[in-house]
Every structure is written in C-alpha cells, then in structure tokens.
Amino acid sequence: MIKKSFASKFAVIIPALVIIGVYSLSLAEQRQRPSAPAPSNTASYLPASDAIAVVDVKRMLRETMPSILGGDAAKLAEANAEVDKFKTKTGVDLHSIDRVVIGIHYTYPTATSTRLETVAIAHGTFDARAVAASVRAAAKGKSREEKYRGATITIINVNDDLKLIGLWTMRVNELAICMINQNLLALGTPANVRAAIDAGKAGRAPAALMSLATRDPNAVIGFGANITPELLSKMDVGNDTTAKDVGAIRQIYGSVGSTQTDVTMMMVARTDSIESAKNLGDTVDGLRQLGGFFIMRMAQPRKSLAETALNNLKITARGNELEIRTQVTAASLAALIK
C-alpha cells in the first residue's frame, strides 16, 4: 500500500512533468534551426560535477519570455524588470551572455539533507574593465577582490532574492564573479569559482555529462545528471517496490524546447538493466493514473495545464532507458510565473 506522504509528493510528478521541469530549469523557446553546441572551452572550466545544464540565454530572453508571457503585459514587464534588477544587484548584464553552462555538485551537510553546489560559466562578449566597474558599482562599496592563479575574483554581498533570466527566483547572498577571458565569465561562490579556475587550468571538460546535456541540438535547455546512491538515500521515495525501481536509475538527461506555440519536455532515465527500465515504466504509468485524482484538487489555470501535460504524456522503454515526453501550449505556462 502506498503511503499517503509518498502519494502526495510523487503522484503529481507525471501530470506535472512540464510544470516541475520547466519551473526548475526555467522555460525555453526553440526555433526549427539547430542550436550551436556549447563551446568546448566553456565546458572545460567546469569543476567535477554530478549534473550539468546548458542554457541558451540569448534565445531565452529574446524568444521565450515574449512567447510565454506575451499574453500578459504586466508579467512580461515584471520579468524584464527582474533582468534589469539582476544587473543592478550584480553588475552582470544578462543581455551580453549567449549561453551558460552550469555545473552542479551534490554535497551532504547532514545525514538527511542535500545541498547543491553550483557554478555558472557564461559565454558571451565582455569588456573586462566595464564588467569590473559595473560589478563594483553594483556592490556599492561592499566588495572585495582576490587574486587566484593569475585571475581576479570580485566578491560582492548581494543578500537578495533574484529572478534568474527574469523567470525563477533564488536567494543570492555572497556572489563571486571572475572574468576568465573576454568571452568567459564565472559566477558562483568564491570556492566554486576558484574550482572553475582550477578546472580550466587542467583543461578537462566533463565529457560524459556534456554529451548527455547536448544530445538534442534543437534544445534551448539541455541537462544531464548522475543519480548517485548517496543522493537517493536522502530522498523519501515511498514503498519498497518504488524505492527499488527508482534506485535502479543511474543517470537522467533530457531537454526543454518548443515550437512557436507549444513547449515540450523530454526526460530519459538510464537504468542498470532492461528489466529495470520496464519496471520503472510500470511504476511511472501507475503514477500517471494516480495523478488524475490529484489534478481534480488543483485550481485553475494550473489544473488545465496539468491535464494537458497528462493527456500528452508518452512513456517509452528502449533497452535500459525509459523516455518520458509531454508538451503544453506556451501561453499556458504563464500561470507558473509569479
């Protein structure tokens, strides 16, 4: 019998795949032309990572926000204002960035918690002096500089909630910013930026995860992640059968993208065997059926969004991998932006 706590947490995963995936990784709009792969020198600055995301920032700002929020002028104006706020608080103009590669490392500060250590390597065209001056101006005297292996790291106290790319909110306290060269900018905690500099000196990109994150050449967001036993041990995944099925996952990867009218999400779980992929598919299908009951409790317009995601859901097992796809209309995603 499924515990109530498990049902409450996981039954809505299936009808809300787009809600969770898009809200967590931001939203994306893609054209019918292939996206250029992340520059190899950008990825070479990623330190040891358990997960990687590649985001086309320029297309997101130019196409995604108008596509998703075009029907709500107030929300679109607010999102654009948040982009401006990011520059005001950090000195970094998101419009100068082409794409960002994000490295994520899992840490476990306590026996029951997981913390994600992240560093972002932004690719664009930057003026080192202008960026440094802008960062210092944004800090309003609350900044310091560190020299590390020939690079200058500027550390500022932000202490504010910022909406990244104008869409989703995260708390930023102390932020380290380093101009690696005229095309690369590293952002993160001081320790993580130093780790990025170390990685760049070694010149070794995390090839396996980058390959997963860039599998879809048309994606605006691509991601790949290792699912470690330590990570799973911190998660309450319900009964023994479900825990066994989820425990067989070794990696996940996927992408977010869209046509002019629809946003799509694809996620693939790579398991340890063909049998495990089949069993996981049966579990996901069961959660899809259970999810219909939870949708009934949702308020509009999220209820309609979840219903569409559920109705369009496709689950396919291929060898030791389980692929999950769904799509919703771009305009309907505006309900997720607060």
CA–CA gap between residue 19 and residue 326 (Å, rounded): 11
Give every CB contact of residue 93 below 8 A, 6+ residues apart in sequence: 87, 134
- What is the Rg, in whole angstroms, of the alpha carbon atoms belonging to the chain? 20
Alpha carbon 184 to its chain's center: 20
CA–CA gap between residue 96 and residue 124 (Å, rounded): 6
CA–CA gap between residue 289 and residue 225 (Å, rounded): 27
3-state secondary structure of 322: strand
The domain locations on the chain are: 1-37+214-338, 42-204
Torsions phi, psi for 12 (to 5 deg) = -85, 0
Torsions phi, psi for 253 (to 5 deg) = -155, 165
- Cis peptide preceding 301, ω within 30 of 0: yes
Q: Which whole-number Å values give the CA distances from 93 to 80, 212, 248, in the listed order?
A: 12, 29, 42
Q: Mind listing the pLDDT tens digit of every residue in the chain (338 residues)?
A: 333 333 333 333 333 333 334 333 333 333 334 444 454 578 899 999 999 999 998 888 888 777 888 778 888 888 888 888 888 888 989 889 999 999 999 999 988 889 999 999 999 988 888 888 898 888 888 889 999 999 999 999 887 877 665 555 778 888 999 999 889 999 999 999 999 999 998 867 678 999 999 999 889 899 999 999 999 888 877 677 888 999 999 999 999 987 777 888 999 999 999 999 999 999 999 888 888 888 888 888 888 888 899 899 999 999 999 999 999 888 888 777 66
Helices (H), strands (E): how many in the chain? 13, 12
Task: Quote the pTM value.
Answer: 0.83
